Copies of this chain bind each other. A is one copy, B any other.
Amino acid sequence: MAFSEFRRLDERSVIEYVKGVPALASKLQLAEAEAEADADADHNITVKEIGDGNLNFVFIVVNSASKASIIIKQALPYIRCIGESWPLTKDRAYFEATALEEQGRLAPNHVPQVYHFDLTMSLIAMRYLEPPHIILRKGLIAGIQYPLLAPHMAHFMANTLFFTSLLFRSTLDHKREVAKFCGNAAMCRHTQQVVFSDPFQVSQYNHWSSPYLDPDAEALLQDNLLKLEVAHLKSIFSERAQALIHGDLHTSSVMVTPQSTQIIDPEFAFYGPMGFDIGAFLGNLILAFFAQDGLLDQSNDRKAYKEWILQTIEDTWNLFYEKFIALWDEHRNGAGEAYLPAIYNDPEVLLLAQRRYMSDLFHDSLGFGAAKMIRRIVGVAHVEDFESITDAAKRATCERKALNLAKMLLKDRRKFEGIAEIVSAIRQF
């Protein structure tokens, strides 16, 4: 029996909930006696709340008898890490479930399967990404290399972005999907605030490694050129429905093992600029790079690991580029209405068109990536990469390098022609 109205679940009521939903009881392989709502036979079911993100509550439910497990994720009508003082629509769960299903269809090896969605409860039941899956950010802090990360992320981004764009879709299909995700406006508004606004104004939630970065944070409020570029990027974010984007594709939205890469938490999904996803991922890798100098110790100078991060940045973009262009070539006679075959299938003009498209996308990605880096250093939500550096002075030194690189990228991004130049620039900071 499903719950008839929203209520916040806890570790006890989660059990009651899963027992009431036949699809979930079945997924957990509960015996009939256990699945009865009033049964006492709960002793095989263990529940653990594991949400360590900023927004939601997440429960692992395990049947210790059968070893079957599921994740129950519930959105509350406010931001978990702030509390009820910062409301945020729980409708986001609907868009997360919808995006998980769409992205799962387009990149099935990289998205956890959704078992059940409950609109009333703002609740998604999905596959538990079992150990050794960990949050990528934690792997980056631990210095673990993931040789398949770049190809997997390139595949996920190329597929989800290409197939939801006008390169593949007809105008009618595209506008219908755009309209649907316009409903996630409250989440877009949240991003506008935390990424494009708060770092550049006095805001109660802003914080930084004080006093070390006080002048750096103050400088952001006075940097007119930076504000102009941020306004431009914000307008692209707010107005340009280029593809269905994840909307929050940082390194804590990715779970990994050496063999597996899974992209989770698309509750910010909407039709926006592709570069916002690509930039989020690359920008967070750059943050991880700059954190390494604060994480090294006598046993590990992190030099090799920093090289691996740089290589992963380069490979991710280059493989994404290759894969995206391959999809474009493969589907150039399809239903997509952006580049009609009769006009653009001449090899010379197609090559020029693709180069221009990818060049614009590259510059968008750099801009959005840089904006996301800045907000993680002076805004409301920081990253564990830096936060785990306990020596505040050392942390601030790492952060300042990342901040200065980001400011430069935001202002000068159009001067860069390829990812190798970005890697060189990172080395120079």
Residue ranges of A at the interface with B (Cβ–Cβ < 8 Å): 166, 170-172, 174-176, 178-180, 182-183, 185-186, 188-189, 192, 197, 200-202, 224, 227-228, 231-232, 234-235, 238-242, 337-340, 342-344, 346, 348-349, 352-353, 356
A176-B185 contact, Cβ under 8 Å, with A231-B339, A353-B228: yes
Most chain B C-beta atoms within 10 Å of own C-beta, residue among A186, A228, A242: A228
A356:B201 contact, CB within 8 angstroms: no
B171:A238 contact, CB within 8 angstroms: yes
Q: Give the distance in Å from the alpha carbon of A346 to the alpha carbon of B346 in the complex.
A: 50
A227:B192 contact, CB within 8 angstroms: no
B171:A201 contact, CB within 8 angstroms: no
Identity of the chain B residue whose Cβ is nearest the Cβ of A186 in the assembled complex:
B172
Closest CB of chain B to A357's CB: distance in Å? 8
Contacts of A202 in B (CB 8 A): 342
| Residue from B188, B224, B338 within 8 A of A231 (CB atoms) | B338
Contacts of A227 in B (CB 8 A): 343-344, 349, 353
Contacts of A346 in B (CB 8 A): 224
Identity of the chain B residue whose Cβ is nearest the Cβ of A346 in the assembled complex:
B224
| Residue from B179, B185, B242 within 8 A of A171 (CB atoms) | B185
Closest CB of chain B to A244's CB: distance in Å? 12
Contacts of A189 in B (CB 8 A): 170-172, 337
A166:B239 contact, CB within 8 angstroms: yes
| Residue from B185, B224, B235 within 8 A of A352 (CB atoms) | B224
Identity of the chain B residue whose Cβ is nearest the Cβ of A270 in the assembled complex:
B175
A338-B232 contact, Cβ under 8 Å, with A197-B343, A200-B343, A224-B348: no
A353:B231 contact, CB within 8 angstroms: yes
A185:B172 contact, CB within 8 angstroms: yes
Q: Which 10 residue pairs spanning A and B have beta carbons closest together?
A: A175-B185, A179-B182, A201-B342, A175-B182, A179-B179, A171-B189, A224-B349, A201-B343, A200-B343, A172-B185
Contacts of A178 in B (CB 8 A): 178-179, 182
Contacts of A176 in B (CB 8 A): 182, 185
Most chain B C-beta atoms within 10 Å of own C-beta, residue among A179, A192, A239, A340: A239
A selection of 11 A-B contacts at a CB cut-off of 8 Å is A171-B188, A172-B186, A172-B189, A174-B238, A175-B185, A176-B182, A178-B178, A182-B182, A224-B349, A238-B337, A238-B338
A352-B228 contact, Cβ under 8 Å, with A166-B239, A241-B241: yes
Closest CB of chain B to A301's CB: distance in Å? 41
| Residue from B185, B201, B356 within 8 A of A228 (CB atoms) | B356
Identity of the chain B residue whose Cβ is nearest the Cβ of A166 in the assembled complex:
B238
Q: Give the distance in Å from the alpha carbon of A340 to the alpha carbon of B178 in the complex.
A: 26
| Residue from B179, B201, B343, B349 within 8 A of A183 (CB atoms) | B179
Q: Give the distance in Å from the alpha carbon of A166 to the alpha carbon of B242 in the complex.
A: 18
Q: Give the distance in Å from the alpha carbon of A363 to the alpha carbon of B170 in the complex.
A: 27
Closest CB of chain B to A270's CB: distance in Å? 8
Q: Give the distance in Å from the alpha carbon of A175 to the alpha carbon of B1 in the complex.
A: 36
Q: Give the distance in Å from the alpha carbon of A180 to the alpha carbon of B178 in the complex.
A: 10
Q: Give the distance in Å from the alpha carbon of A202 to the alpha carbon of B320 in the complex.
A: 34
Identity of the chain B residue whose Cβ is nearest the Cβ of A185 in the assembled complex:
B175
Contacts of A180 in B (CB 8 A): 179
Q: Give the distance in Å from the alpha carbon of A201 to the alpha carbon of B337 in the complex.
A: 14
Closest CB of chain B to A280's CB: distance in Å? 19
Q: Add 17 more A-B contacts to A166-B239, A227-B344, A228-B356 (CB < 8 A).
A: A166-B235, A171-B189, A171-B238, A172-B185, A175-B183, A176-B182, A179-B179, A182-B182, A224-B349, A227-B349, A228-B352, A231-B353, A231-B356, A232-B356, A239-B242, A240-B240, A240-B241
